[in-house]
Amino acid sequence: MRLTDIVAFEMYVHCSKMLLQCGLVLFLYRLKTLSRRRAMTTMSLCMLVLLCWKMTQSCLQEMLSSRRTAGQSDKPKQHDETIEMKAAFLGTLFLLRFAGMTIVNFIIGRAYQLHFCEPWPETWKRIPQYIGSKNLIVSTFYFASSCVAFMCFTCTALRSLSEAALHFENLVLVCSWAHAMYYRFVSERQKTS
């Protein structure tokens, strides 16, 4: 596969993920779990994450193409400074992207918890039942995804978790969409029967 084919496929995957997240936010807004302001903020953060990813891809492609022509250049010091500036810019994009992922996953997880879960149990005997509920599992997945993204964001030694954070976020998104579709079609149909 050529690099352009891989980038095109990744663009499709990231755009699909952003659209699914925005659809999920609209679903939670429709259930009146998210306020209009929080829903708009969350969708804006989803777009910021996609924009940071695309800018990172463009910057990396530019660095790779300039690296090939740098061997013919007679100013290696200037080229090294340019690479350092681009590396700093890439680091900033990385931080923005994972900070956005952390906030988005936390907001969606909290909205899921507020709407689908019962309030925190008042007696100790009901805590295992509360923790084992299927509705809490989806919000817990979002909180875990938010924590993994936060670890990538804060600790430079754990930046290798970034790819795992992305895959975990995709898994959580698929689980929540399955839950939303179940809630939308099966659960509402059972209520009307």
Print the SS3 string covering 10-23.
Answer: HHHHHHHHHHHHHH
Question: Which pTM value belongs to this model?
Answer: 0.80
Report the distance separating Cα 59 and Cα 54, nearest Å. Answer: 9
Q: Cβ contacts of residue 86 below 8 Å, gap of 6+?
A: 59, 62, 63
Report the distance separating Cα 149 and Cα 103, nearest Å. Answer: 9
Q: Which of 146, 150, 168 is nearest to 158 (CA)?
A: 150
pLDDT value of position 168: 85
pLDDT value of position 1: 60
pLDDT value of position 73: 55
Q: Which long-range contacts (CB under 8 A, 24 or more apart) does 145-148 make?
A: 145/101, 145/105, 145/109, 145/169, 145/172, 146/101, 146/102, 146/103, 146/105, 146/106, 146/109
Around 128, how many Cα atoms within 13 Å sit in the side-chain half-sphere? 1
Polymer length in residues for the chain:
193
pLDDT value of position 11: 86
Contact assessment for residue 20 and residue 177, using Cβ atoms and an 8 Å cutoff:
yes
pLDDT value of position 77: 66
pLDDT value of position 67: 63
pLDDT value of position 100: 92
Both tokens assigned to 136? 């809490």
Both tokens assigned to 128? 């295992």
Assign 34 to helix, strand or coil: coil
pLDDT value of position 129: 73
Task: Spell out the per-residue pLDDT of the chain, length 193, in tens.
Answer: 676 777 788 888 889 999 999 999 998 999 898 999 999 999 999 999 999 989 988 888 887 776 666 555 556 666 677 778 888 888 888 889 989 999 999 999 888 888 877 777 778 777 777 776 766 777 888 888 888 888 887 877 777 777 788 888 888 888 888 887 887 787 767 767 6
